[in-house]
Amino acid sequence: MTDSRSRILDRIARHTGGEYDADSIEASFQALAQSQTVNSVQPEMGLTDPIATFIEEARRNGARVANLKSMDQVTQWLRDNARHTSTEVRFHLAPNIIDRSLDWSGLNTTEQTPAAAGSWGVVQAHTGIAETGTVMSLSNECPSGLLFLVERLVIVIARKDIVGYQEDAWQRLRACSALPRTVNWITGPSRTADIEQQIQIGAHGPREADYLIIDSP
Amino acid sequence: MSQVQIQETQPDFIIRSRAALEDNHLQEALEKAGSGFVYKRQAATERIGNFEQLRDQARRVRARALQHLDLYLLHFEKKVQQAGGQVHWAETPAQMRELVIGLCQEQNAKTATKGKSMVGEEVDLNEALEAAGVEPQETDLGEYVLQLAHERPSHIVAPALHKTKAQVQSLFRDNHALGERALDEVADIVNEARAVIRDRFLQADVGITGANMLIAETGTAAIVTNEGNGDLTATLPRTHIITTSIDKIVPTWEDASAILRVLGRSATGQDITTYTSFFTGARSQRDKDGPDQFHIVLLDNRRSELLGSEYEEMLHCIRCGACMNHCPVYQAVGGHSYNSVYPGPMGAVLTPLLRNEEQDNQLPNASTFCGRCESVCPVRIPLPGLMRKLRDREQREAKHANASTLAVKLFCRLSRHPALYRKLTQFSLKLVSMVRGQKPRFKKLPLMSDWTQHRDFPAPDKGSFQSQWQQRQKGKK
pLDDT tens string A51-60: 999 999 999 9
| CA dihedral for B316, B317, B320, B326, sign (positive or negative) | positive
Determine the pLDDT at residue A2. 64
C-alpha distance from residue B198 to each of A37, A104, A212, B194, B228 (Å):
44, 29, 28, 6, 11
pLDDT over 50 at B181, yes or no? yes
A69 lies in some domain: yes
Contact partners, residue A78, CB within 8 Å, separation at least 6: A91, A107, A120, A122, A154
Chain B residue with minimal CA distance to A111? B288
Distance CA B183, CA B173 (A): 9
pLDDT at residue A118 in the model: 82
Question: Do B377 and B322 form a contact (C-beta atoms < 8 A)?
Answer: yes
Are A41 and B257 within 8 A, CB to CB?
A: no
Average pLDDT over residues B84-108: 98
Contact B194 A204 (CB under 8 A): yes
- Judged by average pLDDT, the poorest of B43-52, B129-138, B353-362 is B353-362
Q: How far is B99 from chain A (nearest CA, A)?
A: 9
A181/B229 CB distance under 8 A: no
Q: Helix B69-82 crosses helix A25-35 at what angle (to 10 degrees)? A: 120
**B389 vs A20: CA distance, rounded Å:** 34
Q: Which residues pair with B240 in a beta bridge?
A: B207, B294
How much is the ipTM here? 0.97
B28-304: what CATH class? alpha beta
Spell out which residues of chain B touch residue A195, defining contact as CB-CB under 8 Å.
141, 160, 163, 165, 168, 186, 189-190
Judge whether B82 is closer than 8 Å to chain A, CB to CB: no
pLDDT mean over A115-123: 85
* Residue B4 pLDDT: 40
| A122 and A54 housed in the same domain | yes
| Residue of chain A minimizing CA distance to B57 | A41
Question: Residue B303 burial by CB count (10 A; 0-12/13-18/19+): exposed, middle or buried?
Answer: buried
- Environment class of B365 (CB within 10 Å of its CB; exposed 0-12, middle 13-18, buried 19+): middle
> How distant is the Cα of B228 from the closest Cα of chain A, in angstroms?
5
Query: Is A110 inside any structural domain?
Result: yes
Q: Where are the domains of chain B?
A: 28-304, 403-476
More confident residue, A21 or B349: B349
Q: Does residue A43 lie within any of the structural domains? A: no
The kind and range of the H/E element at A109 are strand A108-110
CATH number at residue A62: 3.40.50.10420
A45, part of any domain: no
Specify whether A69 is located in the same domain as A24.
no
Q: What's the number of domains chain A is made of?
A: 2
Shortest Cα distance from B114 to chain A (angstroms)? Answer: 13
Angstrom distance (rounded) from CA B149 to CA B97: 23
Task: Say which of A12, A146, A186 has its CB closest to residue B307.
Answer: A12
SS3 for B82? helix
- Whether chain A has a CB inside 8 Å of the CB on B226: the answer is yes
Q: Measure in Å the smallest separation between the Cα of B43 and chain A Cα atoms.
A: 13
Where does residue B342 rank: exposed (0-12), middle (13-18), buried (19+ CB within 10 A)? buried
**E strand or H helix at B243, and its extent?**
strand B239-245
Percent of chain B having pLDDT more than 70? Answer: 97
Q: Considering only A1-15, A156-170, B39-53, B259-273, which range has the smallest mean pLDDT?
A: A1-15
CA dihedral over B457, B462, B464, B469, signed as positive or negative: negative
Mean pLDDT of B455-465: 78
Q: Are residues A92 and A178 located together in one domain of the fold?
A: yes
Q: Which residues of B touch A18 (CB under 8 A)?
A: 68, 70-71
**Is residue A104 domain-shared with residue A26, that is, in the same domain?**
no
CA distance, residue A11 to nearest chain B CA (Å) = 6
Three-state DSSP state, A158: strand
> Among the listed ranges B45-49, B58-62, B357-361, which one has the minimum average pLDDT value?
B357-361
Residues A25 and A59 placed together within one structural domain of the fold: no
> Distance (Å, rounded) from C-alpha A214 to C-alpha A72?
10
> Higher pLDDT residue, B413 or B49?
B49
Q: Could you report the per-residue pLDDT of B357-368, keeping only the tens digit for each?
A: 989 999 999 999
Q: A182, A198, A199, A201: which to substitute to probe chain B, counting the most B Cβ within 10 Å? A: A182
The rounded distance, in Å, linking the Cα atoms of B378 and B277 is 21
Could you tell me whether strands B275-280 and B293-299 are parallel, antiparallel, or unpaired per DSSP bridges? unpaired
CB contact under 8 A, B91 and A18: no
Distance CA B178, CA B183 (A): 9
Q: Which of A18, A36, A204 lies nearest to residue B227, judging by beta carbons?
A: A204
Q: Is B137 helix (H, G, I), strand (E, B) or coil?
A: strand
CA distance B60 to chain A (A): 10
Closest residue by Cα to residue B244 from B359, B363, B119, B68: B119
Quick check: B35 contacting A, CB < 8 Å?
no
Report the gap between the CA of A31 and the closest CA in chain B (Å).
11
How far is B377 from B383, CA to CA, in rounded Å? 9
B190 interaction partners in chain A (CB closer than 8 Å): 192, 195, 200, 202-203
Residues of A in contact with B251 (CB under 8 A): 32-33, 36
Q: For the residues of B299-356, what is the DSSP string, one character each?
A: E-TTHHHHTTSTTGGGGG-----HHHHT-HHHHHH-GGGG-SSS-HHHHHHHHHHHT-
Q: What is the mean pLDDT of chain B?
A: 92
Q: Are A128 and A184 in contact (CB under 8 A)?
A: no
The reply to whether A80 and A164 lie within a common domain is yes
Interface check B297 vs A, CB under 8 A: no
From the list A159, A86, A95, the residue with the least C-alpha distance to A122 is A95
Strand partners of residue B94: none
| Residues of A in Cβ contact (< 8 Å) with B274 | 61, 186-191, 205
Judge if A167 and A210 occupy the same domain.
Answer: yes
pLDDT score at B203: 94
Question: Are the CB atoms for B310 and B389 separated by under 8 Å?
Answer: yes
The range of the structural domain enclosing residue A88 comes to: 50-216
A140, A193, A206: residue with CB nearest B158:
A193
CB contact under 8 A, A190 and B275: yes
Q: For residue A186, give the nearest of B274, B289, B308 by CB distance.
A: B274
B228 to A204: CB separation less than 8 angstroms, yes or no: yes
DSSP H/E element including A153: strand A152-158
Residue numbers in B near A147 (CB within 8 A): 231
pLDDT of B235: 97
Given a contact cutoff of 8 angstroms between Cβ atoms, the answer to whether B312 and B306 are in contact is yes
Indicate whether A23 belongs to any domain.
yes
Q: At residue B3, does pLDDT exceed 50?
A: no
SS3 A200: strand
| Contact across the interface for A170 and B71, Cβ inside 8 Å | no
pLDDT of residue B7: 45
- A182–B290: do the CB atoms touch at under 8 Å? yes
Torsion of CA B456, B461, B462, B465, to 10 degrees: 40
Does B32 sit within 8 Å of A182, measured CB to CB?
Answer: no
Share of chain A above pLDDT 90, in %: 82
A76 and A107 inside one domain:
yes
Helices H / strands E in chain A, number of each: 7, 12
Contact A197 B33 (CB under 8 A): yes
Q: Which of B4-8, B157-161, B243-247 has the lowest mean pLDDT?
A: B4-8
- Mean per-residue pLDDT over chain A, rounded: 93
* pLDDT above 70: residue B447: yes
Residue A68 forms beta bridges with which residues?
A214
Task: Give how far the C-alpha of residue A129 lies from the chain's centroid of Cα atoms, to the nearest Å.
Answer: 9
Report how far residue B459's alpha carbon sits from residue B472's, in angstroms, rounded to the nearest whole number. Answer: 21
3-state SS assignment for residue B266: helix
Cβ within 8 Å, pair B190-A202: yes
DSSP state of B364: G
